[in-house]
Structure 1
């Protein structure tokens, strides 16, 4: 199972030196990929800009957006961004995760319609492939560049959780990004089982790629920091839900994290992204040491 790390894009006060240190630590560690999420409100950094910086500052790891809230954006612009990121990274963009997003206020902040986002994304995916295939979007306008380095477009994975959305994504996605906040085997397995069934009903020729993700920390006083991070992340859903979820996560020690990785592997993850609760470099250095012992 390949292991990647999500950058700490939600922590306030990070600067150039902080991100350069993270890029270096991940690129030099035993990690397959580096990722970043997308959120508008709060002290968050822009996913597209952060990954562009990572493309120039790293040499080895893959770069995987996790995820584009695609219906908040113009599909042509996203296709252009991904092709550019491919070039800046020297061909290290092999997977892109797209999803619907559930934060209506984020949609409102960027002037995008929340209603109709499911049907809109189906059309957007098709439009992105048109751009990458060199087809005209506007008659007479010609192709939209830049011309990427890849022999074929990156795999598009669906960041979806419910049976209806997974069913819909089975028509066009190359795989599923399954999320379990505490890295539980049953949660991940349930999502992958739904994807397998949906892919079969869609008469897909290949099985869905299985990417998983969960929260962790290896920082000092980690459990307290993990609680605070998850609570803050889910505060938009209300204090009761935020408290319930924050109390449910406990991948804050070496043994607990190793169990989470074992769970992900047992659920069939081909790759997993670990999302740190802090921006402390100890998250990466201690994780790298732990993975060396896991083998």
Structure 2
């Protein structure tokens, strides 16, 4: 389950309540994404709170954009999050799709590439391995709880990105806009092949989609409102044209049917993305997906 970080008018009480329901429910992971030129909470600050508010669930960034950060400071922050959570952190990384986020932090848009991301991953791996990156008395710490650092996932919707990440990522943290299972399975096959060719273990196959639960037309309208607000860099008429087929809206049983279809193509994990901060939506999903609880 993804935190409702892209919803308006958030406060600490709302975020804490969501985190505790997710942690107490049948969910395998608690996720949240990063934007800069938007009114969402800062991802790395939130990581510290989520580590304190939860005890069980895995914490997964979906995704952090390393090119928006100094890689040494990012490695230190993520290692701190891993330490505070007792080794429950998984780091999803992506190049980001919004140039305004790069401009907001004076990052070079020319680094908005897979190569730019891989270069920063290499620095972070060195930090987490305890290597000296400067002539300091001790290396940059704290050391992560997980040996070698948190597992890394690559945020992607395309085969080129998947292939380029096979050498350093443990799997995928993708997104499907239209829930096209055939296209999703083709991307999973690309990952399976790319990881096998590098001699690495089979990749963790995760994808995500926006959701709204309910009857009638309101769930689809909820998704539409969310997309209008979140996709504010896209002309409104384009978002309106996308909205009827982007994300998912329906009842609990229909959600279970969708999840089982993704399970049939070998999906390891779905990161559901809420389109409302109404905690009733979260509780309804928790009740519905309890069949997957270990």
* TM-score by shorter chain over 0.5: yes
- Which stretch shifts more, 8-17 or 186-195? 186-195
Give the aligned partner of residue 165 of structure 1.
Answer: 161
Contact 2:132 2:138 in 1 (8 A): yes
Q: CA deviation at 1:22?
A: 0.9
User: Relative to structure 1, is the Cα distance of residues 92 and 227 closer, same or farther in structure 2, using a 3 angstrom cutoff?
Assistant: same
- Whether 1:286 aligns to 2:281 is no
Residues 1-295 of structure 1: pairs in structure 2 closer than 5 A:
5-93=1-89, 95-118=90-113, 119-140=115-136, 142-201=138-197, 203-218=198-213, 221-249=218-246, 250-292=248-290
3-state DSSP class of the match of 1:262? Answer: helix
Q: How far is 1:219 from its partner?
A: 5.4
Q: What SS does structure 2 have at the residue aligned with 1:115?
A: helix
Do the aligned partners of 2:129 and 2:148 also contact (CA within 8 Å) in 1? no
Distance, in Å, in 1 between the alignment partners of 2:48 and 2:98 is: 24
CA distance in 2, matches of 1:142, 1:157: 29
Do the aligned residues in 1 keep the contact of 2:95 with 2:112 (CA within 8 Å)? yes
- Matched-pair contact (CA < 8 Å) for 2:91–2:150: yes
Aligned residues, how many? 289
Indicate conservation of the 8 Å contact 2:87/2:150, yes or no: no
CA distance, structure 1, for counterparts of residue 183 and residue 242 of structure 2: 14
Mapped contact 1:182–1:251 kept (Cα < 8 A): no
Cα distance change of structure 1 residues 199 and 151 upon mapping to structure 2, 3 Å threshold? closer
TM-score, normalised relative to structure 1: 0.91
- Check whether the contact 1:232–1:242 (CA below 8 A) recurs between aligned residues: no
Task: Measure, in 2, the Cα distance between the counterparts of 1:32 and 1:272.
Answer: 9
Change (3 A) 1:91 1:227: same
Q: Structure 1: how far apart are the matches of 2:79 and 2:265?
A: 32
| Cα contact 1:217–1:277 (8 A) shared by 2 | yes
- Unpaired runs of at least 5, structure 2: none
Cα shift at 1:159: 0.6
Structure 1 residue 15: Cα displacement: 1.0
Q: Which runs of 5+ in 1 are unaligned?
A: none
Does the 8 Å CA contact 1:32/1:61 hold for their aligned counterparts?
Answer: yes
Q: Matched residues in 1 for 2:256 and 2:180: separation?
A: 12
Contact 2:208–2:270 (8 Å) recurs in 1: yes
d(CA) in 2 for partners of 1:38, 1:187: 26
The answer to whether the 8 A contact 1:178-1:188 is kept is: no
